[in-house]
């Protein structure tokens, strides 16, 4: 039989991964290229959409340099992308500005204004939040991280661009436009913008919410299933990518639903954790659920008519990379970092690290808190500082994990772990000890996004009938068992971790509120 592969492209925050993945889920070849994040103002975070395409074509060309003979084996193209970005494009599909990505919180004032009302509960007007919960199964983030508040920021702060805006696109939406010429999105992305009805059987843009915000639905793209073919690859894009024009382009999904599939945790209530630039805890469900007080709830999953419960956190691997680039030194690679971490005892000799480098979304919706090291002394080592970062992210993950756990019918017995951070043995062991559960690391954890995207593509091409069938295609490479002694230590330190937020969040607000406004 002639070899067949899916060309899967994962556009993250800091890099692009391109991979050839067989029709049995095997990652055959891969390549990477760097992406730059721009921070032009405090609380702003942007990327150049042309930079996405340049990075994609660079990675794909590197792939063909490695395996030129496989260029003609591509049966489909699919993207997995960072979620909740906003890019306005004109009637010709041309970007009107840099994209505001998920890290951007410039629209904080718009978020608070559109949710304002009396009586007020946790910052929300009661009538408005009830309408949002009924229609969308959630409510906009008060920190201005969601697409809906960014839309309104654009309308209020850049009226000249707003008047030229034909469509408002997320990252993957733009790439589908660039490859197929269609302005489309998928249910997972639409359901996370708080303008979309998510109740089973009623999916679609919400007229009551649009009317409440005086928002024009014509600027919103057509919504497709993730497992649909969005269109055929256009000639210009095909030339850039070095594959045949007319190749099917699958609608695909955002990074969370794609990674959930790529983790193998595809059955209901199986939990996976992703450790990338950001992190999340997620599990599939048949029904919607939401905790508006912790910004945790369900989005539409990659499989139509299914949901994914997600607790998203802002900075995980980004905290370690910031430390490496700015404090420790970029010459220290991650193999050396992992070796150093092993020299520090559990508990990092007393140091606490708080990974709130860009505020936090879950389990507290607070844009004013910031990261830091606490309890440092002159006898601490470089290894202690490094270990404290991994432990701090793990504590934050446990906090989010506990929110997810309360929605599930039984105690989660174990978790899958994915993402670039999961390549670290010390981090996986810390996660097992902090969570008090076995942690299963899947094979090639850093490529779960592209693997999941490829499996979604196989569903679209008719190779499988349901995404649950892909569970057997994902191998568990290693299992990390919790150490009972470390579990007891981390239970105590986790209590102190939460207490620190309780005692200091008002101080952070006084310090950073003014700086957050633009």
Contact assessment for residue 295 and residue 313, using Cβ atoms and an 8 Å cutoff: no
Residue 300's CB is within 10 A of a number of other CB atoms, namely 28
Long-range contacts of 424-428 (CB under 8 A, 24+ apart): 424/334, 424/337, 424/338, 424/341, 424/390, 425/338, 425/478, 425/480, 426/338, 426/341, 426/342, 426/387, 426/390, 427/275, 427/390, 427/393, 427/394, 428/478, 428/480
Residues of the chain by 3-state class (helix, strand, coil), percent to 5: 40, 25, 35
Contact assessment for residue 70 and residue 28, using Cβ atoms and an 8 Å cutoff: yes
SS3 443: coil
Contact assessment for residue 165 and residue 175, using Cβ atoms and an 8 Å cutoff: no
Query: b vs e for 483-504, b when ≥16 Cβ sit within 10 Å of the residue's Cβ?
Result: eeebbebbeebbeebbebbeee
Tokens 């067989």, located at residue? 22
The full DSSP string for 340-399 is HHTTSPTTGGG-EEE--BTBB-SSS-BSS---EEES--TT--HHHHHHHHHHHHHHHHHH
Q: What is the tens place of the pLDDT at every residue in 66-93?
A: 999 999 999 999 999 999 999 999 999 9
Provide the pLDDT for residue 1.
Answer: 53
Domain parsing of the chain, residue ranges? 5-311+448-473
Give the phi and the psi of residue 273 in degrees, each rounded to 5.
-120, 135
Q: What is the tens place of the pLDDT at every residue in 188-215?
A: 999 999 999 999 999 999 999 999 999 9
pLDDT > 90: percent of the chain = 89
How far lies 25's CA from each of 21, 31, 294, in Å? 6, 17, 35
Query: b vs e for 348-378, b when ≥16 Cβ sit within 10 Å of the residue's Cβ?
Result: bbebbbbbbbbbbbbbbbbbbbbbbbeebee
Provide the pLDDT for residue 323.
Answer: 95
Give the phi and the psi of residue 232 in degrees, each rounded to 5.
-105, 145
Q: Which residues of the chain fall short of a pLDDT of 70?
A: 1, 514-518
5-311+448-473 belongs to CATH 3.30.1490.100: no
pTM over 0.85: yes
The full DSSP string for 72-124 is GGEEEEEEEE--S-BEEE-TTS-BSS-EE-TT--TTHHHHHHHH--SSEETTE
Provide the pLDDT for residue 440.
Answer: 98
Provide the pLDDT for residue 515.
Answer: 56
Whole-number Å distance between alpha carbons of 196 and 493: 40
The most distant pair of C-alpha atoms in the chain lies apart, rounded to whole Å, by 66
Provide the pLDDT for residue 123.
Answer: 81
Residue 296's CB is within 10 A of a number of other CB atoms, namely 24
């Amino acid at each position: 039989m002639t070899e067949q592969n899916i060309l899967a492209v994962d556009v993250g925050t800091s890099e692009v991964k391109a991979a050839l993945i067989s029709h049995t889920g095997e990652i055959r070849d891969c390549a990477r290229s760097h992406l730059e994040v721009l921070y032009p103002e405090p609380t702003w975070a942007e990327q150049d959409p042309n930079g996405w395409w340049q990075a994609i074509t660079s990675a794909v060309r590197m792939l063909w340099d490695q395996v030129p003979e496989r260029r003609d084996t591509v049966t489909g193209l699919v993207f997995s992308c960072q979620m909740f970005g906003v890019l306005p494009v004109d009637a010709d599909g041309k970007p009107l500005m840099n994209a505001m990505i998920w890290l951007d919180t410039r629209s904080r004032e718009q978020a608070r204004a559109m949710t304002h009302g009396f009586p007020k509960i946790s910052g929300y007007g009661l009538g408005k939040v009830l309408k949002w919960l009924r229609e969308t199964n959630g409510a906009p983030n008060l920190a201005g991280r969601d697409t809906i508040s960014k839309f309104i920021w654009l309308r209020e702060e850049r009226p000249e661009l707003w008047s030229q805006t034909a469509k408002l696109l997320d990252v993957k939406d733009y790439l589908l436009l660039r490859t197929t010429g269609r302005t489309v999105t998928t249910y997972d992305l639409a359901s996370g913008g708080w303008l979309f009805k998510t109740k089973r059987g009623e999916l679609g843009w919400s007229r009551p919410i649009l009317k409440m915000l005086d928002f024009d639905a014509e600027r919103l793209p057509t919504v497709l299933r993730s497992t649909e073919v969005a269109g055929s690859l256009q000639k210009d894009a095909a030339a850039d990518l070095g594959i045949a024009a007319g190749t099917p382009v699958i609608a695909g999904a955002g990074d969370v639903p794609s990674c959930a599939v790529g983790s193998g945790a595809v059955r209901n209530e199986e939990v996976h954790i992703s450790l990338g630039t950001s992190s999340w805890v997620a599990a599939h469900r048949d029904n919607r659920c939401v905790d508006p007080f912790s910004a945790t709830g369900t989005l539409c999953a990659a499989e139509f008519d299914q949901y994914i419960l997600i607790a998203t956190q802002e900075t995980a691997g980004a905290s370690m990379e910031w430390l490496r680039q700015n404090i420790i030194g970029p010459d220290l690679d991650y193999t050396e970092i992992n070796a150093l971490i092993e020299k520090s005892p559990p508990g990092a000799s007393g140091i606490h690290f708080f990974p709130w480098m860009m505020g936090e979304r879950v389990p507290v919706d607070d844009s004013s808190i910031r990261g830091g090291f606490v309890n440092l002394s002159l006898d601490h080592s470089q290894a202690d500082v490094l270990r404290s970062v991994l432990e701090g992210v793990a504590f934050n993950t446990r906090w989010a994990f506990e929110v997810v756990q309360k929605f599930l019918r039984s105690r989660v017995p174990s978790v899958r772990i994915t993402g670039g951070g999961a390549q670290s043995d010390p981090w996986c062991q810390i996660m097992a000890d902090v969570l008090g559960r076995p942690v299963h690391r899947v094979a090639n954890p850093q490529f779960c996004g592209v693997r999941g995207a490829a499996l979604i593509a196989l569903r679209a091409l008719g190779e499988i009938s349901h995404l649950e069938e892909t569970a057997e295609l994902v191998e568990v490479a290693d299992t990390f068992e919790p150490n009972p002694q470390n579990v007891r230590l981390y239970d105590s330190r986790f209590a102190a971790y939460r207490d620190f937020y309780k005692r200091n969040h008002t101080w952070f607000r006084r310090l950073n509120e003014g700086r957050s406004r633009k």
